[in-house]
Amino acid sequence: MPDPIEVRKVPIESVTDASGLARLIADGVIEADRVLAVIGKTEGNGGVNDYTRILADRAFREVLATHGHPSPESVPLVWSGGTDGILSPHATVFATTADAPASEEPRLSVGVAMSEVILPEDIGRPAMVEKVAAGVREAMKIAGIDDPRDVHYVQTKTPLLTLATITDAKSRGQDTAIEETGPSMDLSNSTTALGIAVALGEIEMPSAGQIHKDLSLYSSVASCSSGVELDRAQIVLVGNVRGIGGRYRIGHSVMKDALDADGIWDAIRDSGISLPDRPHPSDLGGRLVNVFMKCEADPSGRVRGRRNIMLDDSDVHWHRQIKAAVGGVAASVTGDPAVFVSVAAVHQGPSGGGPVAAIADLG
């Protein structure tokens, strides 16, 4: 049986601020050597050259090292860049604990794993799907989860294409699925999501022609991010296990479109928080730790029949616009703008919508 989990959300007050993590350790809430993973939002542009992710990564690893973690470089730190609109930079810290109440009810469990090296020529192709799926299955074992239905959130970080990696592939006689670095972020995310869906039995193994094209294929629990920080899939899998003990539970649902606040509320209910038929943020009573979601500009260019110009706008990329919009919807539900909202959600939830996971503190 894996150890029970402590999970806390901390603010990030500047690009290199990791004081929230340091306070958790100093106050005895968590122990540095028990930190399993950190999932956070940084304030950069969210693009290929968003180095706020690297700065945050370095700051948090330095805190872990200072407080005695034996191998801080091995801890998955998954950073999603871009806090557009009212979104607030923050981090959610997952750690094991020896001090947790016993419970036979489903309680939070976390499994972390790394895939095999993902080569630049793998991105956007079945080889990457297979490598990610194998990593997800390993993370399930580590979390002590046998039934895929008990998995509610899979957060990944994978490599995208850069000029250097495209050149490397060519030097070895290989080609890449595309040669544009910016769009490779979306492609890496979508390929990873299909790997998660295959591992959890949500879909069969897709063909090469379905990757990033057949929008009927998706995972309801995948949240995929990519960047220049690593060369393999970094996987943080979160679900529930009976008998593990602890205070926390996770649930999930999907947003059907960018305005689907009910989808967020459904995920919160699934996490074990009882709510009235027409809930308000005040009904949460401090029990919601955080929500995690992906979003995508609807490829039709419409939301609920109304036209928008996100996909036609040459001034502000649609990534930033939809992130700000969904962030506002999410914050109106939670009453807290420190929510995890990430873009490039092809194959992650229904087209134009996205998956939502919610973690509750059930006391």
Tell me the catalytic residues: 157, 225
Number of H helices, E strands in the chain: 7, 14
Q: What are phi and psi of 255, to 5 degrees?
A: -85, 125
Between CA 157 and CA 42 the distance in angstroms is 14
What does the alpha-carbon distance between residue 160 and residue 187 come to, in Å, rounded to a whole number?
8
Query: By the 8 A CB rule, do 189 and 296 touch?
Result: no
On whether the CB atoms of residues 349 and 220 are closer than 8 A, the answer is: yes
Cα–Cα nearest to 298, from 313, 285, 289, 311 = 311
Alpha carbon 13 to its chain centroid, in Å, reads 21
- CB contact at 8 A, 131 and 122: yes
Find how far residue 229's CA is from the centre of its chain: 16
CB 212 within 8 A of CB 191: yes
**Secondary structure E strands in 170-255:** 222-227, 232-242, 248-255
d(CA 355, CA 222): 7
Between CA 66 and CA 22 the distance in angstroms is 9
| Six-digit token string for 179 | 């040669």
Separation of alpha carbons 141 and 138, rounded Å: 5
Q: What count of other Cβ atoms lies within 10 Å of the Cβ of residue 244?
A: 23
> What is the maximal distance between C-alpha atoms in the chain?
60
Q: Which of 326, 296, 343, 323 is nearest to 83 (CA)?
A: 323
Reported as type and span, the H/E element at residue 326 is helix 318-334
Are 289 and 8 a contacting pair, CB within 8 Å? yes
